A and B are shown apart, each in its own frame.
Chain A
């Protein structure tokens, strides 16, 4: 998707290893989000950021940490991967707050498999 890229696109990792997913944007948007998508659960928010070094937890943050040292990059780290973290991870960006609403732009996702 234009302006937002996720890497890697696919990853297989072993239980207990740390994993970092990267989200990079070229839109200079203030807000960035990490979601996971699982069948039957829709999109669930893991963590979000409202500025450089400003982050907060979402509804399913246990086992995950994030960092945002630059406007353009938002990293998601699985501190010790478990099989329950096998999922498709999406990053999203948004530059609106209230007013006109929240036109999120999503990346193409990272498919993570923990074996």
Chain B
């Protein structure tokens, strides 16, 4: 119930392509879904987040798509660049609870 399942574990995309990372959840009380980006030797950093009252949120080349009925959300990186190579984590939380439930992470490599 409390898990967030993230896939794939790793992903290789050609420069200029679209990178897609998926997450699924069970707890319908979740109401906040952020994505974090982590570079080697650094802590994760908030990339983009969405609430379930919208189906899509876009910030530059990064888009979150949210499917409430399927209990799934995904991160799309358009025109992927080598500088996007990093580990990406999805997460979820609910109400006034201040804890995030994390996916296991996806290591993304963009080939030049």
Contacts and interface: CB of A to CB of B under 8 A. Distances in A.
B103 A42 contact: yes
Contacts, number: 62
A63 B42 CA distance: 25
A84 to B, nearest CB: 19
Contact of B44 (A50, A58, A106): A106
Interface residues of B, number: 24
Given A42-B105, A101-B32, A102-B32, A94 B43 contact: no
A107 B34 CA distance: 18
Interface residues of A, number: 26
Nearest to A4: B43
A94 B102 CA distance: 16
Given A42-B104, A101-B32, A102-B32, A31 B98 contact: yes
Contact of B95 (A40, A44, A98, A105): A98
Interface of A: 1, 31, 40-45, 48, 50, 58, 90, 92, 94, 96-98, 101-109
Interface of B: 6, 32, 34, 36, 41-46, 49, 51, 89, 93, 95-100, 102-105
